[in-house]
Amino acid sequence: MNPQTPVGRDADSPSLLFVVGHPISHSLSPAMHNGVIARLGLPLYYVPVDLPPRHLRGFLRIVRAGNFLGGNVTIPYKEEAADLADTRSEAVKACGAANTVVVRDGKLHAENTDGEGFLDALEAAGWGRRFPRVVLLGAGGAARGIAFALGRAGAREIVLLNRRRRRAERVARILSGRYPAVVFAGGDLRPQTLREEFRGADLIVQCTSLGLRGQWENFPIKDVQKSSRFADIVYRAGGTDLLRRLRARGVKTVGGLPMLAYQAARSFALWTGREVPGVAFRKLAVKALKSWYI
């Protein structure tokens, strides 16, 4: 797209982008996207939508008919958005969750930028994109998107651990059909299971709601080997308590803010055709996050 080409479906009024979830007040996405939009001088506006349960279908009907380019989807609507979309990317088909929707001629196309955004963040940290043995804590939409991207990047073994073991095993079966060369397995989150699976892990990724609330009793910190890399997709100023404790032990860690920024950059490119470096989104996110604690 030519940098001077107007962005939007209606040249007479700003087009809209959104992030929809419940709750949504904690989201840094409006600060990031509106900051980039302002710097580029685009006729766009990014709005947060805190949507009560059972209203997503009606909201997406408005999106199809309105002056929207698309938007982001977060907890708890990633799976439902994937189901309600008119078309889906390969990543969405594989993991059953969408974090991005793009409006195309009145229809919704579902994408998942979580996985590739996560790998972009690890690459920016100097970790690369390929990890032979991975342990994923959680089996929700973000975890599935990350697992899909890691499988595509060349992982040999991916273990998904979840409070509901059957869900982890079901996700492992679905993904194994996409990547026959990758060994997928599922398990629970009991401390003994964590201790066993942490052995020999090149990368451990925390994707659970336990991490979101900052509550994880009996987490076996001492069993995370110093040779492992640990990423937490939850973003907090200074990192989560779990990350701080691991760093104190000498474990290399990455928090959730870089992933948030790099997946945002990929979503923005899908909506507008403009490729903005993930670091630009990250700087805006850091600024907004700091303002919460002043």
Q: Which residues are catalytic?
A: 78
Residue 20 parent element (H or E): strand 15-21
* Per-residue DSSP letter, 77: -
> Could you give the 3-state DSSP secondary structure of residue 45?
strand
What gap in Å lies between CA 31 and CA 45, rounded to an integer?
11
Strands 157-161 and 229-232: unpaired
As a whole number of angstroms, the distance between CA 145 and CA 207 comes to: 11
Distance CA 271, CA 290 (A): 28
DSSP 169-235: HHHHHHHHHH-TTSEEEEE---HHHHHHHHTT-SEEEE-SHHHHHT--TT--GGGS-TTSEEEE---
**Closest of 151, 91, 87, 150 to residue 118, by C-alpha:** 150
DSSP-assigned letter for residue 275: -
The whole-angstrom separation of Cα 194 and Cα 43 is 49
Tokens standing for residue 107 = 């229809």
* Phi/psi-derived region of residue 236, left when phi > 0, alpha when psi is between -120 and 50, beta in every other case: beta
The residue written with tokens 């907090």 in the block is: 236
